[in-house]
Amino acid sequence: MTAAAVALQEIVDAAVDAHRGRIGALLPVLHEIQDKLGHVPPDAVPMIAQALNLSRAEVHGVMSFYHDFRAEPAGEHTVHLCRAEACQAMGARALERHVQARLGIGFGETTKNGLFTLEPVYCLGNCACPPSIRINDELHARVSPEKFDELIARLEAAG
C-alpha cells in the first residue's frame, strides 16, 4: 500500500470512527472526508463502503445525488451561479453563457490553472437582487457580465 493510500485510509477510518454509531452515518462521513481533503477521492469509496457495510454503489449514489460532494479537488475559488427562476427571469442564462465563456469551463469543471471551479446552485436566497452568484463564501447581487469580469480579474490578480 502506498503512503498516499495509507494516509487516505487513516482519514476514512477517523471519519468512520467519529460517526459509526449514528443512523445515516454515510453523509457525515462523506462531509468529514471532503472537509479534510477538499473532495472525496474515488479510492475512498470502497474504503467507506467496507467500513459502513454498504455497497460501493450506495456510496457512489449518495455522492452523485448531492451536488456538494466532489470526486476531484475544486479550484482555489468556487463560483456558484444561481439558476433559480428569479435569477433566470433577470438574465442569469445570459450571465451563465458569459461566465462559461470567460472561464472556459462548464458546470462541475475547474479551470486549467486550478483557480476556479464553476458550480450551479438552485437558489442563493437572494431573489430580490438577481442575478446572483457566490464566489467562495461571498454573495454578489445584480451581477452583470461586466461585474463578473471585475470580480474574476481581482481574484486572478491576487494570485
Supply the DSSP string of 46-114, one letter for each residue.
Answer: HHHHHHHT--HHHHHHHHHHSTT--SS---SEEEEEE-SHHHHHTTHHHHHHHHHHHHT--TT-B-TTS
86 to 83, 90, 158: CA distances (angstroms): 8, 7, 32
The count of residues in the chain is 159
Q: Residue 1's pLDDT is what? A: 77
| Contact (Cβ atoms closer than 8 angstroms) between residue 123 and residue 82 | yes
All cell numbers assigned to 93:
442564462
SS3 for 134? strand
Crossing angle of helices 26-37 and 3-19, rounded to 10°: 140
Q: Residue 61's pLDDT is what? A: 95
In the chain (159 residues long), the average pLDDT of successive 10-residue segments reads: 90 94 93 94 96 96 89 93 94 96 95 94 93 96 97 92
Q: Residue 21's pLDDT is what? A: 85
Residues forming beta bridges with residue 120, ordered by sequence position: 81
Distance CA 120, CA 8 (A): 29
Distance CA 70, CA 68 (A): 6
Ordered strands of the 133-135 beta sheet: 116-121, 77-82, 133-135, 138-140
| Contact (Cβ atoms closer than 8 angstroms) between residue 132 and residue 140 | yes
Q: Residue 145's pLDDT is what? A: 97
- pTM of the complete model: 0.76
Q: Residue 157's pLDDT is what? A: 92
The DSSP output letter for 129 is S
